[in-house]
Structures are given as C-alpha cells and as structure tokens.
Amino acid sequence: MAAAARLFRRLPRLTLRGWAFLATGVALFVVMEVLQRREFAFVGIFVVALPVLAAFGVSLYRLPFTVERRFSPELAAAGSVVAVRLIVRNWGGMPGPEGAWFDAVPAPLSAVAPQSLKRIRGFRSSATEAPEAVSLGYELEAKHRGQHAIGPFTLLITDPFGMAVGRRRVGATDVLTVTPSTVALPHGALRLASGSGSARQSRRLGAGGEHDVISRKYQTGDSMRRVNWSATARFGELMVRQDDQQNDQHAVVILDSAFTSYTGSTHTGSTHGGSAHGGSTHTGSTVAPAFSREFEWAVSMAASIGLHLVGEGFHVRLIDSSDIAVKSHDDAALTVASRRAGHSDGQRFEPHSGDEALLLHTAHSALIDAFEVDYRVALSHSDGGALELPPVFAVVGDLSAPSARSLAAAARLSSGAVAIIVVEPVRGDPAWALDLRDELEAAGWVVNIVHSDEAPSVAWGSLDGERLVL
C-alpha cells in the first residue's frame, strides 16, 4: 500500500489548462457523433493528445541533482528564525528544467511556499571538477521545540505548454534541533525558606555553598556570571567571586513530564482531583497530546534553571518523569525506569561546560504516560563528591496524588526545595494548584504558582515579601 501511494505521488497531474484541453477534446468527439462530421475526430484526437503527451513527457524527467542543506543557527531556540541554505548541483549533462521548488516541512512547523527555480547548467567534466553550485534559501520559524526532519527538496516541473506538472523529490532529510526557549535568571544568592508559619526561616545559598566567598578584581576574560555585585558596590570597582569550593556543589532539577499533569484529561486512579486536592477526577485511559503549552513552559523553565546553575558552577542533575515513573495508566505494573536501565537518576551536566548538552537533552523531553512517579528514588541516589544535600528545583503540573506525596517527602532529601506549579492561563489559581501548594509547603517546599502565559521570570517573584534569586 505504501509503495502504491509513493507511485501515485510520482505520477504527473494535469493543470487547469491540461484539463481544459482534455474536456475540449471529449466535447469534439461528442460533436462529431451528433453532426456526423469526421473532421472533428482529427481535431479531437490532436487536442486530447496534447495533455496526454505532456504528462508522459513530464514523467520521463530524471533529475541528477544533489542537495546540501545547512541551518543557521544549527541549534535553534524555540520561537527563533532559522535561515536554511540549500546548495543544489546538477550532475547531468543536460540543463535542468525550470520549475518551482520547496522544502518539505513537517507540522507543527509552517510550510514553505514554492519558489521559482531557473535552469541549472549541465555538468561538463572536461571543463570543471564539480558542477556549478546554485544557492537557494529561505527562512523558517522554529515555533516548537524538538527534532524536525526538514526535506526532502521537492521540485515541481511542467511541460513547455503548462499542461501537466510533476513532482520530484531530491536528496534526503536533515534534522533541525529546536531547543526550548530559555531566559537568563538573576544572579546573586538564593533565599530558600524552611519551616512554615512564624517558624519560617531564610538562608542564603551561593554557588560555593555556605562557605565564605572570596572576591577579587575583575580580569579580562572573567564571566559576567561571576560578578559579585555586593562586593562591587562596597569597593567601588567590578569584583568577581572566587569561591573556595566551586566544584563540589550539586543541584537537582525535576521536570514533571506526565501528560495528564498538563492536559486536564482523565486517568485511572486516585489523584488530587479525586481525593487529595478536590479537583476534577481522573478516570480512564488517555492519549498524550502532540503539544501542550503548559508543558513547553515547564521545559523552558527547567532548562533556564539548569543553565543558570551550570553557569554558577553547580553539578546539575536533571530528572524527568520518564526516569523514575513507577506506574502507567495502561499497565500498573510497568516501570518506565526498567526500560531505561541506568538512567533512573537522571542526566548529569558539568559546571561551565554543560550548556549545550543540557539544551540538547531538554530538546528531546516529551510527555509520557505516567500515573505514579516516585521522586524520592532519584533523590536518594547520592552525588559523588557532594558534601551536603543538594538544593532541589521542581517544575510540575497537576500531579497525581501518589506523585504529589512522593515529591513532598523528597524535601527531606534536599538542603532547600523550590517548586514551580504551572497552570493554564485562566483568571485566578485553580483549586488543585492551591491544594498542591499547601501540601508541598507543609512538607518544607517554597512554592510559586505561575500561569503559562507569564514570563518565566515571574517564577522568581515575591514569596513572603522576599525576592527569590539565584
């Protein structure tokens, strides 16, 4: 069936002019029968033969072309514009046909409108070592994160009379990797609250832990990430941090990637909605959506936090639901972690050098079918070289009740826990989000509820009158 479909796509199709000639020829045959005039038959045969021969001629076209495709930038952020350059060469001895060309672009990226292509001169091996390189290009808006197969190069060719059009695909596809859009988070120190009510206390965590921070004068080549603004204000000149322990600090970033956390769809079992948090009950099986604005926001926020921590000298461990899921909706006994042996503790990124690796990793983040996620499993894995429990940052949606309990208990395995709850852009905060916030705060988390239409920097907004910055 697939082979038949490919063959059908290769067949030339008549244009409006070709169909008009064909209909005119049929009409002449009808007139011949009515008027009994044989001369109409000769005219009818000629008129019908034109589009038929045109389609046959188009089907005979063979394109000895090669296509190279280059992206600029090679690694694009979601929402950015990518310049695509195509280098086309004709290795045949005859000039290539004129026509229109376009690059096949998969959804959800926007399709590219066909553009005209002039004749490409044939290759003469006696004159040159390689054919003439024809440069084509267009701009593509990288709207959505992920890996997108761009291509193949498609050429629309017609006969000289414009009666038939054929489609020829040249070359293979190239993968465009679109990373999540990220924002630069403020630098400084992170105030992590512990306790609750009047007992809530605040402590300051720097990139070198709670050790003394040594400042020195700024030197050419120093990263602006290391600027110590308080020391700069005190001494009146630019000072940078020179921490005595920059390489033994670890942090954990958690990304909730269970699709029911973001879609509001139904799933089996007890959740916030059914028992814990009083929201909408989740029952039945679901199908993961192709795109979720709330999940994309969560990925962007998690990537921004991870990049910031890596730049500040932390060893970062990024954990998502696919690393530690315990139960899915279709098979309660299925463990996703068992299918990804060796990855239950997430992915690690080294300080000052893991930016690109982190972006590539989050570009592949996808929603999965997970009902129960045990976050304590990954947090219980100690980080080699860590002298103290790491700070934990979690970006989550509407967690199921078992997952919420697990995340709340995970605060005991951290030196400070910050949770960001992503909700739909509606007026006010939904009841499930308020209930989840109360549950996490009772366990020692600092929690902020953010709408998916707000800037990620809002997540570092005011909590108990203090500004959360790292």
What is the per-residue pLDDT for 270? 35
pTM of the model: 0.73
425 and 313, same structural domain? yes
73 and 53, same structural domain? no
What is the per-residue pLDDT for 443? 93
What is the per-residue pLDDT for 238? 84
Indicate whether 230 belongs to any domain.
no
What is the per-residue pLDDT for 260? 84
Indicate whether 390 belongs to any domain.
yes
74 and 41, same structural domain? no
205 and 154, same structural domain? no
Number of domains in the chain: 3
81 and 44, same structural domain? no
326 and 305, same structural domain? yes
| Structural domain that includes position 414 | 190-209+245-467
Indicate whether 250 belongs to any domain.
yes
Per-residue pLDDT of the chain (470 residues; tens, 9 = 90+): 656 666 666 688 999 999 999 999 999 999 888 888 888 888 999 999 999 999 998 888 888 999 999 999 999 999 899 999 999 999 988 888 888 999 999 887 887 888 999 888 888 876 677 888 999 999 999 888 989 999 899 999 988 888 999 998 998 999 999 999 998 877 654 554 443 333 333 444 444 443 445 677 877 666 666 788 888 888 888 887 765 444 468 899 999 998 888 864 433 333 444 434 544 444 444 444 557 889 999 999 999 999 988 888 888 999 988 877 665 555 544 444 444 434 457 788 988 777 889 999 999 988 888 778 888 877 776 554 455 688 899 999 999 998 999 999 999 888 889 999 999 988 888 999 999 999 999 999 989 899 988 887 767 654 444 444 44
Indicate whether 240 belongs to any domain.
no
39 and 70, same structural domain? no
Indicate whether 238 belongs to any domain.
no
What is the per-residue pLDDT for 253? 94
What is the per-residue pLDDT for 24? 94
456 and 345, same structural domain? yes
291 and 158, same structural domain? no
119 and 83, same structural domain? yes
Indicate whether 270 belongs to any domain.
yes
Indicate whether 445 belongs to any domain.
yes
Indicate whether 239 belongs to any domain.
no
CATH number at residue 463: 3.40.50
Write out the chain in H/E/C secondary structure: CHHHHHHHHHCCEECHHHHHHHHHHHHHHHHHHHHCCCHHHHHHHHHHHHHHHHHHHHHCCCCCEEEEEEEECCEEECCEEEEEEEEEEECCCCCCCCEEEEECCCCCCCCCCCEEECCCCCCCCCCCCCCCEEEEEEEEEECCCEEEEECCEEEEEECCCCCEEEEEEECCCEEEEEECCCCCCCCCCEEEEECCHHHCEEEEEECCECCCEEEEECCCCCCHHHECHHHHHHHCCCEEEEECCCCCCEEEEEECCECHHHHCCCCCCCCHHHHHCCCCCCCCCCCCCCCCHHHHHHHHHHHHHHHHHHHCCCEEEEEEHHHHEEECCCCCCCCHHHHCCCCCCCEEECCCCCHHHHHHHHHCCCCECCCEECHHHHHCCCCCCCCCCCEEEEEECCCCHHHHHHHHHHHHHCCEEEEEEEECCCCCCCHHHHHHHHHHHHCCCEEEEEECCCCHHHHHCEECCEECCC
CATH number at residue 143: 2.60.40.10
What is the per-residue pLDDT for 218? 76
204 and 127, same structural domain? no
69 and 55, same structural domain? no
